[in-house]
Amino acid sequence: DQQVKQNSPSLSVQEGRISILNCDYTNSMFDYFLWYKKYPAEGPTFLISISSIKDKNEDGRFTVFLNKSAKHLSLHIVPSQPGDSAVYFCAASNYNQGGKLIFGQGTELSVKP
Amino acid sequence: EPEVTQTPSHQVTQMGQEVILRCVPISNHLYFYWYRQILGQKVEFLVSFYNNEISEKSEIFDDQFSVERPDGSNFTLKIRSTKLEDSAMYFCASSDGLGRAEKLFFGSGTQLSVL
């Protein structure tokens, strides 16, 4: 099942710089997209989401961009902090399927001081 | 901050044995889920539960799996006869978002090891 793909398994960024995490999807029925952050030995934690009727959503240091024509979304973290180091999962859903999320493989972000 | 709690954090069992994984969702949430993550693989949806019945289930959730809300606070996942390939981290989640794709709150997971 490759409906949601995160092609970069890892990303290393210097503290204070921008982190850009990417996600691609194939199912055009998806209409809601979310980013989750996961620390070791913890469950995924909701970070930010975007509906397919928007192309951008911002929450503090976190911004998600959605390009529906390209079936691509990205998460920008500015400025990156060492505490942001975690695995980031992109997830997608269809409005009619409620909390059934389809996850990507995750990208491990490392923010170095 | 309210949280989803899962017990036990680790469970080791012999192949063929029954296991019950337990979860206490956030108290005012109405929608409950189980997901799992096999080591090195994606987090996968197993089942959603609302109003005391299964709303949706994945192909993984076969007859060996069942869910129950035995009282007003607990939500359980039972695997009747465990297989080696059931070894995974199992996450419980809950939401109040009318069952839509609102943010799910996940527990810390139960690591199930089937020997």
B107 interface with A at CB cutoff 8 Å? yes
Strands A107-112 and A10-14: parallel
Chain A residue numbers touching B101 (CB-CB < 8 A): 32, 34, 49, 93-95, 97-101
**Contact yes or no for B91 and A106 at CB 8 A:** no
Which of A1, A45, A99 lies at the smallest CB-CB distance from B48?
A: A99
- Nearest CA distance, B10 vs chain A (angstrom): 11
Question: Which pLDDT value is given to residue A36?
Answer: 95
B96 interface with A at CB cutoff 8 Å? no
**Torsional class of B106: left (φ above 0), alpha (ψ -120 to 50), beta (otherwise):** beta
CA proximity to B64, closest of B106, B108, B104, B15: B15
Question: Which pLDDT value is given to residue B72?
Answer: 79
A103 interface with B at CB cutoff 8 Å? yes
**Contact yes or no for A41 and B108 at CB 8 A:** yes
| Strands, E assignment, B1-115 | 5-7, 10-13, 19-24, 31-37, 43-50, 53-57, 65-68, 75-79, 88-95, 105-106, 110-114
pLDDT at A10 over 80: yes
pLDDT at A1 over 60: no
Q: Which amino acid appears at position A67 of this protein?
A: N
Question: Which pLDDT value is given to residue B5?
Answer: 96
Establish, for the pair of chains A and B, how many residue pairs have beta carbons separated by less than 8 Å.
Answer: 70
Task: Name the token pair of B25.
Answer: 């969702």
Chain B residue numbers touching A104 (CB-CB < 8 A): 42
Residue-wise pLDDT for A56-90, tens only, equals 999 999 999 999 999 999 999 999 999 999 999 99
A42 interface with B at CB cutoff 8 Å? yes
More confident residue, B113 or A1: B113
CA proximity to B41, closest of B78, B83, B85, B77: B85
pLDDT at A2 over 80: no
Question: Which pLDDT value is given to residue B108?
Answer: 96
Q: pLDDT below 50 — which residues of chain B?
A: none
Question: Which pLDDT value is given to residue B96?
Answer: 84
Strand-pair partners of A75: A21, A64
Residue-wise pLDDT for A17-41, tens only, equals 999 999 999 999 898 999 999 998 8
Residue-wise pLDDT for B50-68, tens only, equals 889 998 999 999 999 999 9
Question: Which pLDDT value is given to residue B98?
Answer: 60
Question: Which pLDDT value is given to residue B71?
Answer: 87
